[in-house]
Amino acid sequence: MSEQQSTLLRPRERPGANGATAVAQPNIALIKYWGKRDEHLFLPWTSSLSMTLDIFPTTTRVRLDAGAADDEVTFNGAPAGDGERRRITGFLDLVRHRAGLAHRAVVDTRNTVPTGAGLASSAGGFAALAVAAAAAYGLDLDPASLSRLARRGSGSASRSVFGGFAVWNAGTWTAPPAEADLSSYAEPVAVGDLDPALVIAVVDAGPKEVSSRAAMRRTVETSPLFEPWAASSRDDLTGMRAALLRADLDAVGEIAERNFLGMHATMLSARPAVRYLSPASLTVLDSVLQLRRDGTSAYATMDAGPNVKVLCHRADADRVAEAVRTAAAGGTVHIAGPGRGARLLDEGGR
Ligand code: DP6
């Protein structure tokens, strides 16, 4: 089935004349997405699982401009840089192709996450863009199709379409790419009576030297540890689903910690190595170990940057934040709970 034949992707008769505004939050993976098996379609090597946050929203408005020769992209009130503009235009081309409309768009996006610092700014960003652009171009998509669309902007964005915990299925390996594309989307995960928080220690909010995209490509191509990690990550996912279902925060945390440490081991063994861990990251990781020695359930995870996210019970979040703040001297600390999925805002901004 081609993309245009899909019954899930039928254009509405008249695309939203006034455009559409959507908001989405980032997510933090407890089972990581690291490595693509198809770069064009954003098909991941392994399935991943995350918690969508209730902080750091990105709000994006997309308005069609039939007379414009090019897309106009504003990022936090200023014209977007070339790289950002290309990524957004490439994504809109996909939406235009599906909608059968050539109109250019005016995109205004406001992001409250420190960009490019391993805090998943692209996840909330592309989830919001997918929802706003689909509505503006008149595509009537179900959540799985929206997730597939968001995936094409940034893999991790597929998960921010959903609130709470979501798993992004790697999809079928054997099918031709077009069929694998249909099977790779995120969906909600069943969770028991868990009241989790993620304490986020921003030890460095500057942009990173190597993008996660480039780093994961290098890892897949050169790290001798990549395939063993991918195999163990599949087992981690099985264990994680069971631990979430029985609301066992210690098991969730232990699995998340070993999964992220393994991911960083694959990068450290890439050629040349990619190292996002900084001395400040290690100090925060030490403080997490100390919290555990002192009897608090606290477990770390990290992404493609030096910042550390600490999973704990909501009731312990202030204490964990205090310990982490002391360790991350000079850094900032945020407490997040599970947040909502990407959604359209009405004219009143609700
Ligand atoms: C380390 O989704 O930013 O945060 O698909 O190339 O845009 P692209 O990569 P991106 O990678 C995120 C990787 C990660 C782990 C995760 O979120 O699962």
Domain boundary among 166, 192, 218: 192
Cα–Cα distance between 262 and 226 in angstroms, integer?
A: 9
Q: Say which CATH number the domain at 216 has.
A: 3.30.70.890
Using the structure block, give the residue that is written with the tokens 């990524």.
87
Indicate if 229 and 181 belong to the same structural domain. Answer: no
* d(CA 66, ligand 1 centre) in Å: 33
Indicate if 29 and 139 belong to the same structural domain. Answer: yes
Per the domain annotation, does 348 fall within a domain? no
Indicate if 146 and 209 belong to the same structural domain. Answer: no
* d(CA 87, ligand 1 centre) in Å: 15
Query: Residue whose CA is closest, atom 1 of ligand 1?
Result: 303
Residue to mutate (ligand 1; options 156, 185, 233; most atoms within 8 A of CB): 156
**Measured from the CB, is residue 236 less than 6 Å from ligand 1?**
no
Indicate if 61 and 182 belong to the same structural domain. Answer: yes
Measured from the Cα of 156, ligand 1's closest atom is 2
Query: Residue whose CA is closest, atom 8 of ligand 1?
Result: 154
**pLDDT for 31-48, tens place per residue?**
999 999 999 999 999 999
Residue 151 belongs to domain spanning: 19-192
Q: Say which CATH number the domain at 153 has.
A: 3.30.230.10
**pLDDT for 293-308, tens place per residue?**
999 999 999 999 999 9
Indicate if 159 and 48 belong to the same structural domain. Answer: yes
Listed in sequence order, the DSSP H helices in the chain are 82-99, 121-136, 143-151, 157-160, 177-183, 212-222, 226-245, 249-268, 279-293, 317-327
Per the domain annotation, does 2 fall within a domain? no
Per the domain annotation, does 343 fall within a domain? no
Indicate if 203 and 228 belong to the same structural domain. Answer: yes
Domain boundary among 142, 162, 192: 192
Number of independent structural domains in the chain: 2
Indicate if 179 and 258 belong to the same structural domain. Answer: no
- The pTM of the full predicted model, rounded to 2 decimals, is 0.94
Residues in the chain predicted with pLDDT less than 70, given as ranges, are 1-17, 114-118, 120, 347-349
Query: Residue whose CA is closest, atom 6 of ligand 1?
Result: 213
Indicate if 265 and 157 belong to the same structural domain. Answer: no
At residue 275, what is the residue type? Answer: R
Contact residues for 94 (Cβ-Cβ < 8 A; gap 6+)? 149, 152
**pLDDT for 180-218, tens place per residue?**
999 999 999 999 999 999 999 999 877 788 999 999 999
Indicate if 97 and 159 belong to the same structural domain. Answer: yes
Q: Which string of b and e fits 182-221 if b means at least 16 CB within 10 Å? A: bebbbebbebeebebbbbbbbbbbeebebebeebbebbbe
Q: What letter does residue 208 receive in the DSSP assignment? A: P
**Measured from the CB, is residue 186 less than 6 Å from ligand 1?**
no
* d(CA 155, ligand 1 centre) in Å: 6
